Amino acid sequence: NAGVTQTPKFRILKIGQSMTLQCTQDMNHNYMYWYRQDPGMGLKLIYYSVGAGITDKGEVPNGYNVSRSTTEDFPLRLELAAPSQTSVYFCASSYSVELGTQYFGPGTRLLVL
Amino acid sequence: GESVGLHLPTLSVQEGDNSIINCAYSNSASDYFIWYKQESGKGPQFIIDIRSNMDKRQGQRVTVLLNKTVKHLSLQIAATQPGDSAVYFCAENKGSNYKLTFGKGTLLTVNP
């Protein structure tokens, strides 16, 4: 199994541009999450999903959108990039509601200039 | 408000020594805690967890201690190895929602 994969690894955006961060897992996990990590800080939950077709807001959802059309994929959309969205984005999945079972992807580093 | 903080931002130890990483939390309603290890350029990796009905839990070379009286969490790593060098985060969860509140992290450096 590849686990949780994320693309791209790194991206530079101009203010106002849009992009989609891709996340795919091949473990048939129902639960998927998007986090952002600012330098020297812990992770903050952006959105999560408990199964295909079901998504919900986390702690910092403003400026982002998600969809979950399949079990495997959970893309994160930035519509109008802002410098405050410069961060490292981690996708995670888990097979149960137990948060300790989360598997994290390698992250996408985003720079908005 | 809710917060999970760390007493020390950096910790440097000699190989073979035991390491203790501390974490304070302020939300007394939190009932589940996790320690993560994050190596440079990688995502967090689960180390060990503990529920609020426990005071201590042991894993392989790691022990987590929970003191609910003073809202303090610690991670002990026995016989620290160079491969243990990383940033360690504690995180707390309250109730059945999916929100994990992370601390800022402690950078552990193991000197050979």
What pLDDT digit, counting tens, does each position of A10-26 carry?
999 999 999 999 999 99
Task: Write out the two tokens for B54.
Answer: 């426990």
* pLDDT surpasses 80 at A47: yes
- Shortest CA distance from A32: residue in chain B: B98
Say how far apart CA B59 and CA B18 lie, in whole Å: 14
**What pLDDT is attached to residue A86?**
97
CA distances from residue A107 to A42, A100, B9, B42 in whole angstroms, order as listed:
14, 18, 23, 7
Beta carbons of B100 and A100 less than 8 Å apart: no
Of A45, A58, A99, the CB nearest to B34: A99
**What pLDDT is attached to residue A42?**
82
Task: Write out the two tokens for B48.
Answer: 């060990």
In chain B, what residues touch A90 (CB-CB under 8 Å)? 43-44
- Shortest CA distance from A97: residue in chain B: B98
Beta carbons of A107 and B32 less than 8 Å apart: no
Picking from A36-50, A85-99, B5-19, B92-106, which range would have the lowest pLDDT averaged per residue?
B92-106
Q: In what order do the strands lie in the sheet with A64-66?
A: A4-7, A19-25, A76-78, A64-66
* pLDDT surpasses 70 at B5: no
Taking the CA of residue B27 and the nearest CA in chain A, the distance in Å comes to: 16
DSSP 3-state of A12: strand
Choose from B96, B100, B104, B107 for mutation: most chain A CBs within 10 A: B100
pLDDT bracket for residue B93 (50, 70, 90): confident
